[in-house]
Chain A
Amino acid sequence: MNISTGFKRFLQHGNMKAHDIPVWIIGLIVSVLWIAPFVWMISTSFKPPKEVMTKEIEWFPRHVVLENYKKVFEYPVARWAWNSLVVSVTSTALGVLLGAMAGYALARLNFPGKNLFFAVLIASLMIPAEMTIIPMFVGFLKIGLSNSYIALILPTIANVFSVYIFRQFFMGLPAELEDAAAIDGASRFGVFWRIALPLARSPMIATAILLFTLNWNSFLWPLLIIFDEKMKTMPVGIAAFTPVVGAHTQMEGFGVGMAGITLLSLPSLLIFFFLQRFFIEGVSRTGIKG
C-alpha cells in the first residue's frame, strides 16, 4: 500500500506513466555510459602507474595517488595554463566588446553600405577558418609576431557570432529608452555604454561563455603559430602526451596523460555545470540562425 502510493507519487513527480519506466531506465543508462569516458579519465589519473594497465577492468583506483599529477607538473603546465588564461580572457573580453559595438551599430545606426556590410558578415560565416590559416600563418611569420600573445589573440577578437548575437538582441530592444537619453544630451557612445550595454546582460553572458570555451579549446591556430615550448597554450602543450605525435605518453604512460587532460578539462566542465543554462541558450541562438 505504502509502496504503491510512493510509486505513484514518484511517477507524478517525475512526469511519467508506469509504462514509461523501461525507456526511462534505458535513457539513464545511456547517459551514464555517455559520461563514462570522463569517469575513466579521472579514475585513471589517480591510479599508481602499476595499476593503470590491469588485466581486469577497475573503474575505481585501488590506491588514490597524486603521482601522475606531480609528473604532469614536471612539464611547464602551469605556464601553459597561464598562457591559456591570459589569451582566453583577453580574447573573450575584446570579442564581446567589439561584438556588442558592431552589433549595436548594425542594429541602430544608419550608415552607407550597412546592408552590404551585414551580407558580407553573414557570408564570411560560410568561409572555413582553415581557408585563411595559411595566409595568416605566413603573414604573422613575416611580421615577426609568431610566438606571441598578440598572435594568439588578434585573429580571435573579430568574432562574427558575437556581432550577430548582439545585432539580433539590439534589433529586438525598443529604442525609446536610448532616445530619451539622447534627448538629454548623451553622446552616441554614451547612450551605448550607459544605457544599451547594461541592458544586454543576458546576451553578454551567453556570448562570453561561448567565446571563452571556444578560445580555451582553440587548437589548430596555436599549434601552428607557437614554436616556443614556454609560449604554448594548455591544449597544445598537453597534446604532446598523445602517443602518436608526442613522446610524453610513451615515456610516462597513460596515467600522466589522463592527469593532464583532467586538469585541462576542469575549467570548461566546471563553467559548464554551473552555467548550463547560458551554454544551451548561446548555442541554440547562434546555431539556429548561423
Chain B
Amino acid sequence: MTFTVVAIIFGAYIAFNEWGIMGAPQWVGLANFKAAFTDEWVAKAFTNILKYGLIIVPGVTILGLIFAMYVNKRWFLSDFVRAAFYSPNVVSATVIGLVWVWILDTQVGLVNKYLNMIGISNIPWLTSTQWSLIGVSIASIWWDLGFSFVLFLAALQEIPSELHEAAAIDGANGVQSFWYISLPILRPTISMIVTLQLIATMRIFSQVYMMTNGGPAGSSVSVIHYIYTTAIIQLKLGYAAAVSLMLFVVILIVTFIQQRLIREND
C-alpha cells in the first residue's frame, strides 16, 4: 500500500515533466495538461468511455438483475443456469477478445451468418467506425455480467419470501410485487453495481486492445488504451501520466456525484 501511495505521488510528479525513457525528466509545468486539453485523441477517448458506460452499465445491470431473478426461482436445472451465466467472468481478456473477434467477424462470423438467415446483411461489427464501439461493448457485457449477476442473486436471496407471499394474498401480481417489494430492497445493490461497473468501464482496456486496438480511426479507443499508446508506443511518459491523472480526477468526480445522488434519494 505504501507502494501505491509512493507510485501515485511519483506519477503526479511525472505528469508535470517531459520525459522519454532515456535521459532525465524535464520540468514543463502544466504543458502536458495544456496539450491534453487540445488533443483531439484525448477528447475522443473520454467521449468513448462515456459511450461505453452508456451501453455496458445498463446492459450489465438490467440483464444481471433479470438473470438473477430467474435463477433465484430455484427451478429445475437452476444450478446449471447459474454456472452458465457466471462462467464468462472467470476467463481472461484474451479469451473474450479472440472468441468475439471470431464470432463478430464481418465475412465469416457466427452472428452475421445468423443475421443473414433472417435477411439482415453483414454488419461490420469491429471494422467500421460506426459499429466498433458497440461490438466491443457486446463482448464486455458478456464478460462483466457475472459480477452484477452474483451480487443481485445474493441480495435477492436475502429478501424473505414471506413478503412476496403476503403481497400475493393481498392481491398483488408479479409485476407489482417486483416493483413495490423487490426493487426498493434492491436499491442499494443497484447503486453499488452501477458505481462499480461505471468505474470499471471507464477503465476499459484489454477488450479494446484485443478486439480493435482502438480502431478503426480511433472509433473504439478508450482512455487507458490511449495512455498505453502514448507511454509504450510513443514513449511520452510525462504526457501519459498527465492523461492518467485526468482519468483519475474524472473517476473521482463521477463517484462523488453518484454518492450524492444516492444520498439525496434516500
Residues of A within 8 A of B (CB): 10, 13-16, 20, 23-24, 27-28, 30-32, 34-35, 37-38, 40-41, 44, 53, 57, 120-121, 124, 126-139, 141, 155, 158, 160, 213, 216-217, 219-220, 223-224, 235-236, 238-239, 241-245, 249, 254, 257-258, 260-261, 264-265, 268-269, 271-273, 276, 279-280, 283-284, 287-288, 290
Contact = CB atoms under 8 A, between A and B. Distances in A.
A257 B102 CA distance: 9
Given A219-B92, A264-B95, A276-B83, A242 B101 contact: yes
Contact of B10 (A13, A135, A276): A135
B76 A10 contact: yes
Contacts of B130: none
Interface of B: 1, 3-5, 7-8, 10-11, 14, 21, 67, 70, 73-77, 80-88, 90-95, 97-103, 105, 108, 110, 113-114, 142, 146-147, 150-151, 153-154, 192, 196, 199, 203, 205-206, 209-213, 215, 224, 227-228, 231-232, 237, 240-241, 244-245, 247-248, 251-252, 255
21 contacts: A14-B75, A14-B76, A20-B75, A23-B70, A37-B103, A120-B5, A126-B199, A128-B248, A131-B11, A133-B244, A219-B205, A220-B206, A220-B224, A239-B93, A242-B94, A243-B101, A258-B102, A264-B91, A272-B90, A284-B150, A284-B153
B93 A219 contact: yes
Contacts, number: 226
Consensus secondary structure, chain B interface: helix
A81 to B, nearest CB: 13
B252 A126 contact: yes
Given A139-B10, A217-B93, A245 B98 contact: no
A245 B210 contact: yes
A41 B99 contact: yes
A280 B209 CA distance: 28
